[in-house]
Amino acid sequence: MSDPERPLAHPLPVVLAGARGHGRWHLENIRRLQDEGLVRLAGICELTPLTEDELGAFAAPGELPAQSADFGALLDSTGAAVAVICTPIPTHTDLALTAAARGVHLLLEKPPAPSYAEFRRLADGVAAAGVVCQIGFQSLGSHAVPAIRELITEGAIGRVDGIGGAGAWARAQSYYRRAPWAGRRRLDGADVVDGVLTNPLAHAVATALALDGATRAEDVAGIETELLRANEIESDDTSCVRVTTTGGRRVTVAATLCAERPDEPYVRVHGSGGRITFWYKQDRVLLQRSGHGPQETAYGRTDLLENLVGHLAGRAALLVPPDTTGAFMRVVEAIRRAPDPVALPAGAWYLDAEEDRRVVRGADALVAAAADTLALYSELGASWAAPEPRKEVST
């Protein structure tokens, strides 16, 4: 058991909950940091233990981590100082609080919770326990984020009129069969809210809000949503959201998992004298402004687990504490409370048999237009969009 008041041993013992699927990325990242002497993989929590092949380099004699399906018992037996949680969305809060009760610090995958109530239970619980919690929005570790904020503050593109986000991705129909909770709004009476804006392209929403400086729940004045689906799922795969901030600006993010030609997602800051485009997965920024030629810059990125380790050692400020994702969670809550997504008419999409995926006609252009104009699909004239967006006003 760890104690948040006691100096931590190094390398920090880490337990990973959820090591398959996206958890595989975390396993490789822990291996990287272990090679640098910063952490030690002490345990893996999975319902079915990983095989030696899955463990890879960790399968060397004398280096095997403990494995158990009992998260709390594993934390106790390993003396973990940090837990990385990459499990189904509805399990996040309970697992995080299980770790917090033992004084174990956290890296929690996004989205942090499936509802705002669960998010508050999580954030308040870890704060009361006195542990550190980092939310896994890896894009917010990009050095481009503070650089863009500085450009905005300096007035590089004049008055900021709004921020748009665009994500045109593709997912095969098998993507929704990978787990019982995939593509669900609810499962066994519990909220899941696994939609395009809340999970696979959640980074576009969180990054757009971060560039605006509207990251906390109280920064949100109103939210409009249009949720649609081409796939046979409960949740949405082609949607847009517009957040009005208390500062009076609009942040519009449009996304689809049914793109005609999948491309890199981006966030775009619109100013009276230019614009800034940020391809957040590539840490690449394009500055375009009046009287200057286009300027493209590639930035570095701070890994969030490495940042958490540095923070615990007193070397770094924590990049993504829970309260800085409050505005994003207001968006999740608005989507959770919205009516179920509208099924697109058969003529609006077609099946790409070779890739086994549904493709929405014209989706790429609509996503890009929404990011450019800050308009919703219905305002752009999409024949299949809802006639009126769902609106929520913050109180």
Which pairing describes strands 186-187 and 160-168: parallel, antiparallel, or unpaired? unpaired
pLDDT of residue 64: 84
Residues with Cβ within 8 Å of residue 363, at least 6 apart in sequence: 168, 238, 256, 258, 259, 260
Q: HEC string of the chain?
A: CCCCCCCCCCCEEEEEECCCCCHHHHHHHHHHHHHCCCEEEEEEECCCCCCHHHHHHHHCCCCCCEEECCHHHHHHHHCCCEEEECCCHHHHHHHHHHHHCCCCEEEEECCCCCCHHHHHHHHHHHHHHCCCEEEECHHHHECHHHHHHHHHHHCCCCCEEEEEEEEECECCHHHHHCCCCCCCCEECCEECCCCCCCCCCHHHHHHHHHHHCCCCHHHEEEEEEEEEECCCCCCCCEEEEEEEECCCCEEEEEEECECCCCCCCEEEEEECCEEEEEECCCCEEEEEECCCCCEEEECCECCHHHHHHHHHCCCCCCCCCHHHHHHHHHHHHHHHHCCCCEECCHHHEEEECCCCEEEECCHHHHHHHHHHHCCCCHHHCCCCCCCCCEEEECC
Nearest by Cα to 113 from 323, 341, 332? 332
Residue 218 tokens, joined: 């109280």
**12-136 and 144-299+322-393 in the same fold:** no
CA distance 209 to 42: 36
Q: What is the mean pLDDT of residues 352-364?
A: 97
CA distance 287 to 312: 35
Beta bridge partner(s), residue 134: 107
pLDDT of residue 387: 63
CA distance 75 to 72: 5
Percent of the chain with pLDDT over 70: 96
CA distance 199 to 109: 10
Q: What is the mean pLDDT of residues 144-158?
A: 98
Q: Which fold has domain 12-136?
A: Rossmann fold (3.40.50)
* All structural domains of the chain with their residue ranges: 12-136, 144-299+322-393
Residue 117 tokens, joined: 């109530």
To the nearest whole number, what is the mean pLDDT of the chain?
Answer: 95
Residue 82 tokens, joined: 């940090």
Look up tokens 């008419």; give the residue: 345
Q: Are 256 and 238 in contact (CB under 8 A)?
A: yes
* pLDDT per position as a tens digit, 206-262: 999 999 999 999 999 999 999 999 999 999 999 999 999 999 999 999 999 999 999
pLDDT above 90 (res 389): no
* pLDDT per position as a tens digit, 270-322: 999 999 999 999 999 999 998 999 999 999 999 999 999 999 999 999 999 99
pTM recorded for the entire structure: 0.95
Provide the residue type at 128 as one letter.
Answer: A
Q: Looking at the domain that runs over 144-299+322-393, which CATH code has it been given?
A: 3.30.360.10
Dihedral sign from CA coordinates of 60, 62, 66, 67: positive
CA distance 145 to 143: 5
Lowest pLDDT segment from 172-176, 255-259, 295-299, 390-394 = 390-394
